[in-house]
Protein backbone atom coordinates (compact mmCIF):
# COMPACT_ATOMS: atom_id res chain seq x y z
CA UNK A 1 0.00 0.00 0.00
CA UNK A 2 2.87 2.39 0.75
CA UNK A 3 4.46 2.18 -2.70
CA UNK A 4 1.34 1.87 -4.86
CA UNK A 5 0.86 5.67 -4.97
CA UNK A 6 4.41 6.57 -6.04
CA UNK A 7 4.21 8.48 -9.33
CA UNK A 8 6.29 7.69 -12.38
CA UNK A 9 8.89 10.46 -12.95
CA UNK A 10 7.81 10.92 -16.60
CA UNK A 11 4.17 9.91 -16.76
CA UNK A 12 1.09 11.00 -14.78
CA UNK A 13 0.53 7.37 -13.72
CA UNK A 14 1.49 5.59 -10.53
CA UNK A 15 4.05 2.78 -10.54
CA UNK A 16 1.20 0.39 -9.77
CA UNK A 17 -0.87 1.57 -12.76
CA UNK A 18 2.17 1.02 -15.02
CA UNK A 19 2.76 -2.42 -13.40
CA UNK A 20 6.27 -1.37 -12.39
CA UNK A 21 5.31 -2.56 -8.89
CA UNK A 22 2.71 -5.16 -7.98
CA UNK A 23 1.70 -6.80 -4.74
CA UNK A 24 3.58 -9.94 -5.76
CA UNK A 25 6.86 -7.98 -6.07
CA UNK A 26 6.91 -7.29 -2.31
CA UNK A 27 8.36 -9.81 0.14
CA UNK A 28 8.51 -9.33 3.91
CA UNK A 29 10.41 -11.70 6.21
CA UNK A 30 10.89 -11.50 9.96
CA UNK A 31 14.64 -11.45 10.69
CA UNK A 32 14.59 -10.71 14.40
CA UNK A 33 12.35 -9.58 17.18
CA UNK A 34 10.30 -6.71 15.70
CA UNK A 35 12.70 -6.44 12.74
CA UNK A 36 11.89 -7.31 9.15
CA UNK A 37 13.60 -7.72 5.81
CA UNK A 38 11.60 -6.01 3.05
CA UNK A 39 12.53 -6.99 -0.50
CA UNK A 40 11.05 -5.14 -3.47
CA UNK A 41 11.55 -6.30 -7.06
CA UNK A 42 10.33 -3.76 -9.58
CA UNK A 43 9.97 -4.05 -13.34
CA UNK A 44 10.87 -1.01 -15.49
CA UNK A 45 8.49 -0.34 -18.38
CA UNK A 46 11.28 -0.90 -20.96
CA UNK A 47 14.63 -2.78 -20.74
CA UNK A 48 16.64 0.42 -21.32
CA UNK A 49 14.59 2.68 -18.98
CA UNK A 50 16.81 5.65 -18.15
CA UNK A 51 14.81 6.37 -14.99
CA UNK A 52 15.13 2.94 -13.35
CA UNK A 53 17.64 4.24 -10.79
CA UNK A 54 15.35 7.16 -9.96
CA UNK A 55 12.38 4.80 -9.53
CA UNK A 56 14.46 2.64 -7.17
CA UNK A 57 15.42 5.77 -5.21
CA UNK A 58 11.76 6.80 -4.92
CA UNK A 59 10.84 3.33 -3.62
CA UNK A 60 13.64 3.44 -1.03
CA UNK A 61 12.86 6.97 0.23
CA UNK A 62 9.11 6.34 0.50
CA UNK A 63 9.59 3.06 2.38
CA UNK A 64 12.26 4.46 4.71
CA UNK A 65 9.89 7.26 5.66
CA UNK A 66 6.71 5.24 5.99
CA UNK A 67 7.48 1.78 7.35
CA UNK A 68 6.26 1.75 10.95
CA UNK A 69 8.70 -0.96 12.08
CA UNK A 70 12.44 -1.63 12.16
CA UNK A 71 13.54 -2.99 8.82
CA UNK A 72 16.29 -3.81 6.38
CA UNK A 73 15.36 -2.78 2.87
CA UNK A 74 16.55 -4.39 -0.35
CA UNK A 75 15.36 -3.10 -3.72
CA UNK A 76 16.12 -4.84 -6.98
CA UNK A 77 15.12 -4.70 -10.60
CA UNK A 78 13.31 -7.91 -11.55
CA UNK A 79 15.86 -10.26 -13.07
CA UNK A 80 16.24 -9.93 -16.83
CA UNK A 81 14.06 -6.81 -17.18
CA UNK A 82 16.74 -4.13 -17.61
CA UNK A 83 19.95 -3.90 -19.60
CA UNK A 84 22.03 -2.58 -16.65
CA UNK A 85 20.15 -4.17 -13.75
CA UNK A 86 23.31 -5.22 -11.88
CA UNK A 87 24.72 -1.68 -11.79
CA UNK A 88 21.37 -0.17 -10.81
CA UNK A 89 20.84 -2.75 -8.06
CA UNK A 90 24.23 -1.79 -6.57
CA UNK A 91 23.41 1.94 -6.71
CA UNK A 92 19.97 1.77 -5.09
CA UNK A 93 21.19 -0.50 -2.29
CA UNK A 94 24.24 1.61 -1.42
CA UNK A 95 23.46 3.93 1.52
CA UNK A 96 26.20 6.42 0.62
CA UNK A 97 25.08 6.73 -3.00
CA UNK A 98 21.45 7.16 -1.90
CA UNK A 99 22.46 9.86 0.60
CA UNK A 100 24.56 11.65 -2.05
CA UNK A 101 21.68 11.52 -4.54
CA UNK A 102 19.30 13.05 -2.00
CA UNK A 103 21.75 15.92 -1.43
CA UNK A 104 21.26 16.98 -5.06
CA UNK A 105 18.42 19.58 -4.91
CA UNK A 106 17.09 18.82 -8.39
CA UNK A 107 17.01 15.08 -7.80
CA UNK A 108 15.49 15.54 -4.35
CA UNK A 109 12.70 17.69 -5.80
CA UNK A 110 11.84 15.02 -8.40
CA UNK A 111 11.81 12.31 -5.72
CA UNK A 112 9.59 14.43 -3.47
CA UNK A 113 7.10 14.98 -6.30
CA UNK A 114 7.01 11.24 -7.05
CA UNK A 115 6.53 10.11 -3.44
CA UNK A 116 4.06 12.83 -2.41
CA UNK A 117 0.73 11.39 -1.28
CA UNK A 118 -2.18 12.27 -3.56
CA UNK A 119 -4.80 14.60 -2.06
Domain ranges of the chain: 23-112
Is residue 23 helix, strand or coil? Answer: helix
Is residue 35 helix, strand or coil? Answer: strand
Report, in angstroms and rounded to the nearest whole number, the Rg of the chain calculated over CA atoms: 14
Which DSSP string corresponds to 65-109?
HH--SEEEEEEEEPTTSSTTHHHHHHHHT-HHHHHHHHHSHHHHH
Say how far apart CA 4 and CA 114 lie, in whole Å: 11
Say how far apart CA 19 and CA 44 lie, in whole Å: 8
Task: State the pLDDT at residue 69.
Answer: 87
Task: State the pLDDT at residue 19.
Answer: 95
User: Between 3.20.20.220, 3.30.300.130, 3.40.50.12780, 3.40.50.10610, what CATH number should domain 23-112 receive?
Assistant: 3.30.300.130
61-99-54 Cα angle (round to 5): 50
The share of the chain scoring above pLDDT 70, in percent, equals 99
Report, as ranges of residue numbers, the positions in the chain whose pLDDT lies below 50: none
Amino acid sequence: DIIRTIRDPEKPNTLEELEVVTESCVEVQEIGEDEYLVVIRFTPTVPHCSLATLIGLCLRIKLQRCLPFRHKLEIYISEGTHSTEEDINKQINDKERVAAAMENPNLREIVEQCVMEPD
